[in-house]
Amino acid sequence: MLDVPSYLARINYSGSTAPTIETLRAVHRAHLLTVPFENLDIELARKIVLEEDVIVRKVVELRRGGFCYELNGAFAALLRALGYRVTLLSARVPREGGGEGPEFDHLTLRIDLDQPWLADVGFGELFLEPLRMQAGLEQQDPAGVFRLVQLGERFQLEKAVAEGEWKRQYSFGLRPRRLEEFAGMCHYHQTSPESHFTQNRICTCARPDGRITLSGMKLILTRNGHREERVLGSEEDWADILAEQFGIHL
């Protein structure tokens, strides 16, 4: 049984736990501001296992982050324990050369209240608060403007990048999925040389005024739209920032 107080303490949340949209917005934002998106276990050759108790323990007790399957899998468990109706959805992420990845490329969440909402704490840089699952509606978020475009039986999530210009984030269908269905792509992303997760280590977390990211040996700070980068001089510097800024001790 999930230890709700411990999970809420992990994300520094002490507000209402009633299963409302206000609570959903608050815990979603709190999760993104405290639990980093990171793939550090892959470089360490630590197998990522998609079992709910394992990923919850990693986030809550070990005070780690993870990638989409772990973060959204754990967050789904928390929301269910709070009384929300949660559906796991399979998403496909655009590829640089065109087209999309296969099904189960990404795990995102549908939350049903008086209307359906899209929640996602496992994509890295995305929206801070859940979006209405309503096609064509431009939605203002602290992280930018987003919209859902309906493509047949699928939805495509897009973010505004310039006046009249939108960038695809991912597409998803509405068929309910089980966590174990993502195991094959989870294995691929942590083992295949073609996966971007095996090509570069990353740890990134939202901040109230921007984002902090460790990408390889590069530290990237974004504050109020201003971006700063610096290359770290040693693995010791990298480990120090990982501990000081993300609370992770490998």
CATH number where 65 lies: 3.30.2140.20
Laid out side by side, the sheet with 226-231 consists of: 37-38, 202-207, 210-215, 218-223, 226-231
By the 10 Å C-beta count (0-12 exposed, 13-18 middle, 19+ buried), 96 is classed as exposed
Contact between residue 155 and residue 117 where contact means Cβ atoms under 8 Å apart: no
Whether the pLDDT of residue 22 is over 90: the answer is: yes
Which residue, chain included where needed, has tokens 């470089």? 43
Residue 164 has pLDDT above 90, yes or no: no
- Active-site residues, by number, are 68, 106, 120
Instruction: pLDDT band for 249, please (50, 70, 90 cuts).
Output: very high
- Taking 90 as the threshold, does the pLDDT of residue 200 lie above it? yes
Please report, for residues 86, 91, 118, 171, 227, the alpha-carbon distance to residue 151 in angstroms, rounded to integers and kept in the order given: 23, 13, 16, 9, 34
Please report the pLDDT score of residue 13 as a whole number.
98
Q: Which domain holds residue 70?
A: 4-246
Return the percentage of the chain with pLDDT > 90, whole number.
94
Domain count, the chain: 1
Task: Report pLDDT for 162.
Answer: 87
Distance CA 151, CA 106 (A): 18
CA 186 to chain centre: 14
Number of other CB atoms surrounding residue 148 within 10 Å: 21
Res 3: pLDDT: 97
- The contacts of residue 143 (CB under 8 Å, 6+ apart) are 125, 126, 127, 128, 206
Neighbours of 78 (CB within 10 A): 24
Helix (H) or strand (E) holding 162: strand 154-162
Q: Indicate the pTM of the whole model.
A: 0.96
Q: Please give the residue that has the higher pLDDT: either 163 or 185.
A: 185
pLDDT at residue 78 is higher than 90 = yes
